[in-house]
Amino acid sequence: MNKESVGLVETKYYDIDGTIELESGATLDDVVVAYETYGELNKEKNNAIFVCHALTGDAHAAGWHEGDEKPGWWEIVIGPGKALDTNRYFIICSNVLGGCKGTTGPSSINPKTGREYARDFPVITIKDMVKVQKKLVDSFGIKELKAVIGGSMGGMQVLQWMVSYPEMVKKAMPIATTARTSPQQIAFNEVGRQSIFSDPNWNNGYYYESGKVPKKGLAVARMVAHITYLSEESMYLKFGRDLQDKDEVTYDLGMDFQVESYLHHQGATFVKRFDANSYLYITKAVDLFDLAIKNSLTDGLNDVDSKVTVVSINSDWLYPIDQGMEIVSALSANDVEVSFAELKSSYGHDAFLLERGQLNYIISRFLSDDRVSDIMTSDVQTIKPTSDIKEAAKLMLDNQVTHLPVVSDDSKLIGIVTSWDLSKAIATNTYSLNDIMTTSVKYCYKQDSIDDVIYKMREDDISCLPVVDDDLKLEGVVTIDQLSHFIPNGSY
């Protein structure tokens, strides 16, 4: 285990109080969410990043479970010094609703019957998955996410976060995904579902008590899906037309080629870790995903308020570049701050799980492009110049702050008073705020870069800067504690 890993981790579980109402109108009670976190949530609770997993992923995105043979599925970008730097950020990843890795799904016990839900589990959507994720995030007391990031079906969740909770998502990075599932994508999913339905052990979904699992159907579904995750170039490079364990073809209906053996291995491995009913429900959720309103994606993304980078993979034929560009165009039409990044790879769709160098560069650049608006506190306690010292001291004590911006009746910044100023007032028997407050206040703007603000605070040896607009009206404050995650080695 190297120093760039978060090390040993454990999956945790959150029980959601009350009833979850689904997009279909159906409801779920006693929903449990399996999740993992990496890094520490700062006291301002503004350094949280939510990572969304792909179709058959889970909450184990990084680090190692006891006895693991391999780390979490996104170990290449999560950890100390990586793009999702756990020395700076608090990373959250949860298993989706409908999954089979700890979050409530078809294989979970239905509290109404005492048996597995099986086919009694209601049809879910990506929107329902994100609603449950929001409940988990709320449980930490987090009001705003620094970013939401994910690839493939995880990218769909990112887009849904942007639409459902625009006020919560500062930055968003949907990777290798689409805003509305295409007929071709639906077709591949339907072939997979039909292979499960046709397995004699499926038993209309009620197979848990018999122990006879529809392994063959699920394995074929995985084989079909896995083909879409690769590119033709990667398959040629990996397999070509090489034979498997033989020197010449046998002219029977058995396996001749390495690529055949590979797909069978993928299917056999998959059935050991995934539930067939979960596969049915999750692929259906993907098929139902469509953020357009009356066929207009621009209208569907009208309320987005995040800073966005859309990432597509040049060799991805499952979610091709033009579907990523459609998202960019719709966001641009709504004046959203959006950029596009192309990940160049021969791996196809799976490149978002494999291209360590490019992914770390793209994600790091996106997260490091920070402005004061990304981290400032907007809910600021202020005081009027006519107030007295006692009132200022009480406000500081009650709100646990060391700086109070002094504002006029129209909210313009006219000064600042610090805990040091209050100490001076006590020593000199001063009672008027006007006599001790600083009127030549250093301040910054929302659009200022984090690097510029850090430099200014170092130069002037101050630990808090008011944030103002062009008319000097107070919009928030930024403190050195909020900036500590952006300072190398935490030094100031």
Q: Is 316 a catalytic residue?
A: yes
End-to-end CA distance of the chain: 31
Write out the two tokens for 428. 């000199």
Cβ(90)–Cβ(49) below 8 Å: yes
CA distance 234 to 78: 25
Q: Which of 94, 152, 306, 345 is catalytic?
A: 152
Q: Could you say which DSSP state residue 412 is in?
A: B
The amino acid sitting at 218 is L
The CA–CA distances, whole Å, from 274 to 241, 383, 392 equal 30, 58, 59
DSSP 3-state of 115: coil
Q: Is 349 a catalytic residue?
A: yes
Exposure string of 295-323, with b = 16+ CB inside 10 Å and e = fewer, is eebeebbbebbbbbbbbbbebbebbbbeb
Region of 40 please: left (phi>0), alpha (psi -120 to 50) or beta. Answer: beta
Q: Which of 77, 53, 61 is nearest to 130 (CA)?
A: 53
What stretches of 18-125 show up as alpha helix (H) in DSSP?
A: none
Q: Which of 397, 432, 429 is nearest to 415 (CA)?
A: 432
Using the structure block, give the residue that is written with the tokens 């400032």.
376
Q: Which of 53, 349, 403, 485 is catalytic?
A: 349
The amino acid sitting at 369 is D
DSSP 3-state of 470: coil
Q: Which of 58, 316, 350, 421 is catalytic?
A: 316
Active centre residues (catalytic): 152, 316, 349
